[in-house]
Amino acid sequence: MSTEENTTHEEEVVVQPTVAATESVATPEPAATNGALASFLDLKESNPKVFFGAIGGVVLLLIILLSSGGDGNKPALSGPVLKNLAIGQQYTLKSANAYDSAATVRLVSTPGAIAAYDDTEEADRNGACQHIAQGTNVTVLEFADAYGKPKSYSKVRVEDGACKGNEGWALSIDIQ
């Protein structure tokens, strides 16, 4: 045996110094990293295609919801309705487009004259039974078609008031 073999081998033990943690250092988390919003915003940085695709999907869903809202059973708009008038029957004048009870119904000598009518002068408003008060009874004498609509104008005879017996044309929608 050689001298090297006879000598006892001592193992080398490497002792690493231990560091005692006296103070823990915590890294503060930013407020934006908390919750679902933070993960969604992080997605913008990591995978922008998915991020913008999700935004596009939400916008598309909102458009679909807003455009398809409501049911098919919507009530019809209420407004002036053209009654099925009959010649020789008595009706009442009522202006379809006026909410004022003092509004009058215009009677003209020919059916199409209402469209060309201008009563800016005071004499035009007070002359010869042209403006008949609402609620006046009239009798329908005949009809005239206009603009492709049948019975648009009605020739009436006034049955009440100072203009009793006068005849003129009125819009059929103003006769109730």
Tens-place pLDDT, residues 82-127: 778 899 999 999 888 788 878 888 888 888 776 555 555 555 555 6
Spans of all domains in the chain: 34-63, 90-174
Rounded average pLDDT over 21-49: 69
Which of helix, strand or coil describes residue 75?
coil
The model's pTM: 0.51
Q: Which residue has the tokens 């009440």?
A: 160
90-174: which CATH topology? SH3 type barrels. (2.30.30)
Q: Quote the tokens at residue 49.
A: 């295609």
Q: Mean of the per-residue pLDDT values for the chain? A: 77
Q: Which residue has the higher pLDDT, 56 or 14?
A: 56
